[in-house]
A and B are shown apart, each in its own frame.
Chain A
C-alpha cells in the first residue's frame, strides 16, 4: 500500500473498530507516547520543546521506526516556548535527569468566584494572566506580546507540517492532540484555574459557586463546540475521530461530586456525539472504572475510551457498547523481554479481538525507562502482521 492507500485503510479500520458494525482487518495499535518520543529521537526534552524542526524530526522518526496506526501525541502538547516571552512558571524541565514536571498551581483564589462570575474575560486577563505569566503586567511591550503571537503561529505551522508529513509519508491520520477537542468547565477549573487542591477545597467549602462557574465555562466553551458538531462542520477528513475529550479531573471525584460537577457536562458531550452520529475518543486518565455505568446506555458505535489503570477485560464486560483502548502495560514494555511483550500483546488481541478494541499503552509513556525500544518495535511489528 502506498501512503494514501494506507491512510484510507487506517481510517477504515479505526472506523470499523469504533463503530463495531463489521470486523476490522486487524487490531489497531495507537501510540500513547509523549516526551519518550523526544528521548528516543536522541534529543533533550527542552531542545525539542523549543524547536519545532527538532520536534518534527522526533515525531516523524518515531512513526518511521514503529509505524503506529495513530499517535495520541504529535508533538504539540506542552508548547512551553510560546508563552516564554511573557513568563512561565508551571513547567520544570531537567534535561540531565530527562524529566518534565508540571506544578499544580492555583491561579485563582478561593474568594474570587464572584469576580469570575461577574466578568470572566476581565478576570482572566486582569487577574489570572498576570499570575500565570510573571511578565504579563503593565511593563509588557507590544513587541514581547507580538513574539508570543509569532511563536503561536510557528506552532500552527508545525501542526500543518507534521500532520501533512505523517499523512503523506506514513499514511497516519492526524494525532489526537490536533483533533478537535472539548473540555468541560470542571476540567478547566481542575487543570488551569484552581488546581487539584483548589477544587478539592471548593467542592466542600464553596460548592454552589464552583458549580455556577463550571456551568459558565461550559456555556462559553463546550456549547459552541457541540453546536458546531451538530451542524456537521467538525470532522475534517484528516481526523480519525470527530471529537476528543480528555477526562482528567474525575481522578479525584467521589460519585456525588461526579454527579454534581462533572457528569452533566460530559453527558452533554456524549448526547451531542450520538445525536450527530459522530465518534468520540475519551482519554480517561488514572482509574475510571467507578464511572463506567454512566456510559452503559449509550448506543454502540460512538464512544472509544482510552483507559490507563483499569482492567481492559473488565471494561469490555462492563461496556460492550464502547470501544476500549489500552491494555499494554508500561511495566512490561520497560522491564520485560521482547518475547514477554509480544506474548502479552497476542493474549490481548486473542481475547479482545479487533472490533471494539485498540491496543495501546496503559500509561502516558514519558520517560526513557518506560519502554525498551526493542520491545516496542517487536510489539509494533507483531500487531501489524497478526490476524
Chain B
C-alpha cells in the first residue's frame, strides 16, 4: 500500500514525479487503495487551492495542478470504484459562445472535480441553446460559464436569457468567471454569482450542490 499522506503532500507541492510514481506503484500492485488515492489527490488539490488563496501559487501553478490531476485520474481510473471520490453532484461547465479560451475553464474543471463535483464539460464556443438543452436533458442545476474576451459578457447574458426563455431560470444556479467578469457585469448578466478564482468557484458550486 502506498503512503497516502505522502501522495497528498506531493499533490499539494505539485511534485509531479512523486505523484505519478506513487500512483503507478499502486496500480502495479493491483490497484487496491485507488479510492483512498483519489481522496488523497483531492485533498492535495485542496492544498493547492489554499496556497493559491494565500498568494503562494498563481495561475501557472493551477494550470500545472489541473494537468497533474488529469494525469493522476487517468492512471487510477480503472481501479476506482463507482461512486468513489465523494461525488456531491453534477454541473455544466463551458466557455461561452464566441470565446475559444479554455485554460481558465480547464483549471476550474480540475478543481471542481477534485472538490467532488462531476463536471459535464461542453467545451468552448458553446451556444446558449446547447447549454439550456443539456441542463434540461440531464436535469442539471448548476451552470458555470467561463470567458476571457469582453464579448463573453454578452454571451453569458444571452445564456442566462436563454434559460429565462426556456422557463427554467429559477431551476438553475449560474456562476460566471474569467478575466472580464466583475460584480457590475454579474448584475448585468443576471448570474447568481461570479468569481475570478477557481477555489472560490468550487466553494460556491459545492454550496449550491450540497
Q: Do A and B bind each other?
A: yes
Q: Which A residues form the contact surface with B (CB < 8 A)? A: 92, 94, 97-99, 101, 103-104, 196-197, 199-201, 203-205, 251-255, 257, 286, 290, 309, 329-332, 334-335, 363, 365-367, 369-370
Residues in chain B near residue A290, CB distance under 8 A: 55
Contact in complex: A204, B179 (CB < 8 Å): no
Give the distance to chain A from B122, nearest Cβ to Cβ, in Å.
17
| B61–A330 touching, CB < 8 Å | no
Residue of A nearest to B180 (CB): A363
| CB proximity of A142 to chain B, nearest CB, Å | 35
Task: Pick 17 A–B contacts, CB within 8 A, sort by A.
Answer: A92-B100, A97-B97, A99-B98, A104-B103, A197-B63, A200-B64, A201-B63, A201-B64, A201-B67, A254-B55, A255-B56, A255-B58, A330-B180, A331-B184, A366-B150, A366-B151, A367-B149
Task: Assess whether A196 is in contact with B63, with CB atoms less than 8 Å apart.
Answer: yes
Contact residue among A251, A257, A332, A366 (Cβ-Cβ distance under 8 Å from B149): A366
Contact B103 A286 (CB under 8 A): no
A101 near B99: Cβ-Cβ < 8 Å: yes
18 new A-B contacts at CB < 8 Å, known A99-B149, A103-B100, A331-B182: A98-B151, A104-B101, A197-B63, A201-B64, A204-B61, A205-B16, A251-B59, A252-B59, A252-B60, A254-B55, A254-B56, A290-B55, A329-B182, A331-B185, A335-B184, A366-B151, A367-B151, A370-B150
Residues of A within 8 A of B179 (CB): 286, 309
Q: For the complex, is B91 an interface residue (Cβ under 8 Å from A)?
A: no
Contact A200 B60 (CB under 8 A): yes
**Minimum CB distance partner of B157 in chain A:** A369
Chain A interface main SS type: helix
Q: Verify A331–B188 contact, CB threshold 8 A.
A: yes
Residue contact A330 to B64, C-beta cutoff 8 Å = no
Could you tell me if A254 and B60 are in contact, using CB atoms closer than 8 angstroms? yes
Tell me whether B154 is interfacial, beta carbon within 8 Å: yes
Bound form: Cα–Cα A253–B52 in Å: 11
CB-based contact A254/B103 at 8 Å: no
What residues on B are CB-neighbors of A334 within 8 Å?
150
Q: Chain B residues near A366 (CB, 8 Å)?
A: 149-151
A90–chain B nearest beta-carbon distance, Å: 11
State whether the Cβ of B94 lies closer than 8 Å to any Cβ in chain A: no
Question: Are A257 and B58 closer than 8 Å at their CB atoms?
Answer: yes
How many angstroms from the CA of A203 to the CA of B58 in the assembled complex? Answer: 12
B58 and A254 within 8 A (CB): yes
CB distance from B62 to the nearest CB of A (A): 8
Given the interface pairs A253-B58, A286-B179, the reply to whether A197 lies near B103 with Cβ below 8 Å is yes
Q: Which residues on the B side are within 8 Å of A367 (C-beta)?
A: 149-151, 154
Contact: A330 with B150, CB < 8 Å? yes
B14 at the interface (CB under 8 A from A): yes
- Minimum C-beta distance from B33 to chain A (A): 26
B208 within 8 A of A: no
**Contact present for B100 and A369 (CB under 8 Å):** no
Q: Cα distance A369–B170 when bound, in Å?
A: 27
Q: In the assembly, what is the distance between CA of A276 and CA of B79, in Å?
A: 64
| Residues A369 and B58 in contact, CB atoms below 8 Å apart | no
